[in-house]
Structure 1
C-alpha cells in the first residue's frame, strides 16, 4: 500500500536503534525526508546513512528532548533546512527502575523517568506543532507502552509515565484537531530484541527454572497471537498513523502487542 508519504518531512526522536531505527527506515522506504533528533549524534549516523542510501534527505540534529530550548532550536533548524514539518514521531524514552516496587523506588528515580517519557514529547510537540499549524496540518505519533494501559507491578515509574503520555496525547488531539493535526499513540508490548533476549528471557528462565527457549515461548503464550512483537510491527503502526490513510483517526491508543492489553 502506498501511504502517500513521499516528499513529506518526518521528525523522529530516538532514531538510533530498535523501534526508532525501524521507524526511521520505514519512512525512508516510503520516500519521506527526515530530521533525526537525539543526544548521541554518532549513534544516529549509521541509520541516517542507511536512509540517505534510499534516496531521501536525513538531517541529524543533536537534541536532548527534555530540554525545552534544545527542542525549540531543533525546530528552527528543521524549518531552515526544509521549510516545513509534516510528521513528528516521539520514540525517545526510557524504562526506569525494573524489579522495584513503588515503595522501593526513590523519588529521584520516579522523577527521572516521568520527566523523560512525558516532558520529552511535551517539549517536542510544543516546538514542532506550530509549523504544522502554519502549514495546514500534520500528524503526531507518540510511542507509549502497554504498561500504560493495564499497569504493571514492579514497574510503577514507567507505567505511570506512559499513562501520563496517554493523557498528553488525548489533550493535544483535542487542542490541535481544529488545525487538522492528528495526535495518536502507539503502545508496544514486549518487543523482541536485545533487551528481551538478554534481560527478560534470562530473568524468566531463572525464575521458573526453565531454558531460555522455554522462557521466550512462555512469554509469547501470554499474547492472543502467540508471538512477541518486532520493531517492524511497531514501525508499521507508526507509519500508518502518520499517513493520510489515518486522516480520520485521532486521540487513539493503538496497542501493538499481539493481543494483551486490549483482551
Structure 2
C-alpha cells in the first residue's frame, strides 16, 4: 500500500536512537523531508547524515522541548526551510524512576518526567499547529506508552505523564479536527533495546533473583502474542497514523504491545 507520504514535511522529536531512529529512517524511506529536533545535536547529526546520504532531505534543529520559545523557533525554522509542516511525531521522552513506589519517588523525580513527557509534547504541538491550521492539513502522532492506559506499580511518575499526554492528545484532537488535522496517540509496550534490557529487566532480575534474559521472557509471557515489541513496530504504527490511510481516525489510542493493554 502506498502511504502517499512522499514530499511531506515531518517534524520529529527524539530522532537519534532507538525507536526515534527507526521512525526517522522509516519516514525517510517513505520520501518525507525531515526536521529532526532535539537538545543533543551531536547525537542527531549521524542519523541526519544517514538520511541525507540516502538522497532524502533532513535538517537538524537544536531545541530543548521543555522550553516553549525554543519549540516556537524550531517550528519557524522548519517553515523557513520547507514552507510547511505536515507531520509532527513526538517521540522524545524519558522513563523516570524504575522500581520505585510512589512514596519512594521524590517530588523532583515526578515533576521532571511529567514536565518532559507532557509539557514537551504540548509545546511542540502548540508550535506547529498554526502552520497546520493555515494550510488546513496536519497529522500529529504522540508516542506515549501503555502504562498510560493501565498504570503500573513502580512507575508512578512515568504512568502519570503518559496518562496526561493522552488527555492532551484527545483535547487537541477535538479542537483542531475542524481544520483537517488528526491527532493520535501511539502507545508502545515494552520495546526491546537498552532501556528495556538495562533498566526494566535488570530491575526485575534483582528483585526476583533471576537473569535479565529470564526477566525478558517473563515480560513476553505477559502479552497475548508472547513477544516483545521492537522499534520497527512503533515506526510502522506512526507511519499509519501520519498517512491519509488513517484519515478518519483522530483522538485514538493505538497500543503496540503484543496485547498487554487490553488484557
TM-score for both structures, normalised by structure 2: 0.97
* 176-185 vs 200-209, which moves further: 200-209
Is the alpha carbon distance of 1:212 and 1:97 closer, same or farther for their aligned partners in structure 2, counting shifts above 3 Å? Answer: closer
1-structure distance, mates of 2:122, 2:208: 40
Which residue in the other structure is 1:36 paired with? 36
Structure 1 Cα separation of the partners of residues 27 and 256 of structure 2? 18
> Structure 1 pair 96/214, CA: closer, same or farther in 2 (3 Å)?
closer
2:212 & 2:61 partners in 1: Cα distance? 39
Number of residue pairs aligned between Structure 1 and Structure 2:
263
Q: What residue number does 2:13 align with?
A: 13
Q: Please identify, of 46-55 and 63-72, the stretch whose mean Cα deviation from structure 2 is larger.
A: 46-55
Any conservation in 2 of the 1:45–1:60 contact (CA below 8 Å)?
Answer: yes
Distance in 2, matches of 1:230 and 1:53, equals 25
> How do 1:25-174 and structure 2 match up within 5 A?
25-174=25-174
Quote the residue 1:208 is aligned against: 208
Could you tell me how far 1:76 is from its partner in structure 2? 0.8
CA distance in 2, matches of 1:98, 1:202: 10
Contact 1:139 1:182 in 2 (8 A): yes
Q: Where do 5+ consecutive residues of structure 1 fail to align?
A: none
Tell which deviates more after alignment, 200-209 or 12-21: 200-209
C-alpha separation in 2, matches of 1:72 and 1:205: 43
Q: Which moved more, 1:48-57 or 1:132-141?
A: 48-57
In the TM superposition, what is the alpha-carbon distance from 1:206 to its structure 2 partner? 3.3
Q: 2:9–2:35: 8 Å Cα contact kept in structure 1?
A: yes
Aligned residue number for residue 226 of structure 2:
226
Runs of 4+ in 1 over 6 A off after TM superposition: none
Matched, 1:3 2:15: no
Secondary structure, aligned partner of 2:225:
coil
The residue that corresponds to 2:254 in the other structure is 254
Shift of 1:6: 0.3
Partners of 1:69 and 1:83 lie apart in 2 by 20
1:130-182 per-residue CA deviation (whole Å, 9 max, x = no partner) reads 10111121100001000000011111111001000000000000000000000
Report deviation, 1:105: 1.5
Q: Give the CA deviation at 1:83.
A: 0.3
Q: What SS is found at the alignment partner of 1:10?
A: strand
Which consecutive unaligned segments of at least 5 residues does structure 2 have?
A: none
Distance 1:205 1:102, change over 3 A: closer
Moved more, 101-110 or 194-203: 194-203
Deviations along 1:43-62, one digit per CA (max 9) or x if unpaired, are 00111111112221100000
Q: Do the aligned partners of residues 106 and 206 (structure 1) sit closer, same or farther apart at CA in structure 2, a change above 3 Å counting? A: closer
- Provide the aligned C-alpha RMSD in A: 1.0
Shift of 1:238: 0.4
